[in-house]
Amino acid sequence: MSTQLKHQWSIGHNYLTGITFGKWCKLLAQNRFQISPAYLHRAAAITLASLSNSVCAGVEELRYGAAIRQAPHPKAPLFILGHWRSGTTFLHELLAQDRAQFQFPNTYQVVNPYTFLTTEGFTTRMFPWLVPSKRPMDNMALAFSSPQEDEFAPLLMTLTSLYLGTSFPRRMDHYDRYMTFQDASPPETAAWQSAFVSFCKKLSLHDTRNLLIKSPPHTARIRLILSMFPDARFIHIHRDPYRVFQSQRHFFDTAGWYTYLQKPDLAAIDEGILRRHEAMYDAFYEDLPLIPDRQFHELRFDALETDPVGEIAKVYDALSLEGFTEFSPILGEYVDRLKGYQKNSFGALDAGTKAIVAARWARSFERGGYPI
């Protein structure tokens, strides 16, 4: 990877612009205010945004706070699980076309969990250009209204997410514990669960459709999810581990550069990718037997890519989801519009790295039926 500070002057693609001032000060204090000089302008932009967010959050609390707290527990969502770069976004986009059945947190809502009920309509109408039309790591379409990872919302509400390790790479090991929460304190775990449920209540306040939720870290949180939503349903997607490793490398060399507040240790990135995959699937396979029958389905990315409509039909059947007959033509039209999309292209892994991935991720090769 390049040692240059890519996108150094960019202040876009940064989820921390949705934080409130109090939480921002707490986050800075937790990291001993150690912002690399090269990224001080990003910290300044986040500070300015946080002041506005705090004002709007106060207004939102006055308008909706009581209603959210008194709202019933949300209906059990459908969770999409899978490692980063395994096709979770593609699966999310496909299922999100079933607007009769599903709602989902969008890009604006997950980055503005304190304020979206108050500010989303105005901001998304007046400033659509604030969101680039493509994601930096894979050229998939992006907009304020796009289905998005919910992980960012409880992150901003509780400061407990492994994604904070990308912003503050000097404490990556500290933040990694929040993927599984197995080493987190009980108050931290309770706070995260409370924030997640609260965010789901906000999403469901004016919309009674089932929630469609996608965040790769949830792959390691089946136990936590079931404690909140015993009736939750899960879809797990997996992909050739070699391809996953290469694509995750590419993510850190593209999108990762937009969020750093400290200079990254590029030499540590490969080991971090390997270690997080191992931790994710240790937790996943430990908790998988907890999921009741008819609440779990698994599919391969290559099969989904080859026959999207057929694979989604299998999802609906396996999870007893209704309405596929009506949804099928809508899905087919959407798939037709995707023709011509160009995936990232990578060269072959060098032999040494390939051997390490094969050894460290042997379980994923074996369970997924991928050749080493």
* Model pLDDT for residues 308-359, shown as the tens digit of each residue: 999 999 999 999 999 999 999 999 999 999 986 666 667 889 999 999 999 9
Residue at 3 is within a domain? no
Residue 59 confidence (pLDDT) above 90 = yes
Q: Alpha carbon of 144 to those of 19, 90, 107, 199, 340: distances in Å?
A: 17, 17, 5, 17, 23
Predicted pLDDT at 266: 94
Q: Alpha carbon of 57 to those of 49, 61, 63: distances in Å?
A: 12, 6, 10
Predicted pLDDT at 1: 40
More confident residue, 130 or 285: 285
Q: Looking at this protein, which amino acid is placed at residue 237?
A: I
Predicted pLDDT at 2: 42
Predicted pLDDT at 347: 80
More confident residue, 104 or 129: 104
Residue 231 confidence (pLDDT) above 70 = yes
| Sheet containing 210-214: order of strands | 102-103, 210-214, 78-81, 233-238, 296-300
CA distance 78 to 318: 13
- What percent of the chain is predicted at pLDDT more than 90? 85
Residue at 38 is within a domain? yes
Average pLDDT of 24-48? 97
For residue 238, report the phi and psi dihedrals to the nearest 5 degrees: -135, 165
Predicted pLDDT at 167: 97
Average pLDDT of 209-229? 98
State pTM to two decimals: 0.93
CATH number where 242 lies: 3.40.50.300
Residue at 6 is within a domain? no
Q: Looking at this protein, which amino acid is placed at residue 54?
A: S
Q: What's the pLDDT band for 134 if we cut at 50, 70, 90?
A: low
Residue at 8 is within a domain? no
Please spell the DSSP secondary structure of 112-155, one letter per residue. -TTTHHHHHHHHHHH-GGGS-SB-TTT--B--TTSB--TTHHHH
Number of domains in the chain: 1
Residue at 193 is within a domain? yes
Average pLDDT of 252-259? 91
108 neighbors 120 (Cβ within 8 angstroms): yes
Predicted pLDDT at 139: 60
Which range has the top average pLDDT, 2-6, 144-148, 174-178?
Answer: 174-178
Residue 138 confidence (pLDDT) above 70 = no
Residue 129 confidence (pLDDT) above 90 = no
Predicted pLDDT at 137: 52
Average pLDDT of 122-128? 76
pLDDT tens-digit profile of 69-97?
999 999 999 999 999 999 999 999 999 99
pLDDT tens-digit profile of 284-318?
999 999 999 999 999 999 999 999 999 999 999 99
Residue at 361 is within a domain? yes
- What percent of the chain is predicted at pLDDT more than 70? 93
Question: CB count, 10 Å around CB of 372?
Answer: 13
Please give the mean pLDDT across all residues of the chain: 93
Q: What is the DSSP letter of 76?
A: P
Residue 179 confidence (pLDDT) above 80 = yes
Tell me whether residue 310 is exposed, middle or buried, using C-beta atoms within 10 angstroms of its C-beta: 0 to 12, 13 to 18, 19 or more: exposed
3-state secondary structure (DSSP) of residue 103: strand
More confident residue, 92 or 139: 92
Enclosing domain of residue 277? 15-368
Residue at 4 is within a domain? no
Residue 180 confidence (pLDDT) above 90 = yes
Q: Token pair for residue 235? A: 């879809």
Predicted pLDDT at 15: 93
Q: Alpha carbon of 330 to those of 90, 100, 164, 325: distances in Å?
A: 16, 11, 37, 10
128 neighbors 165 (Cβ within 8 angstroms): no
Residue at 7 is within a domain? no
Place of tokens 């040494």: 352
Predicted pLDDT at 140: 65
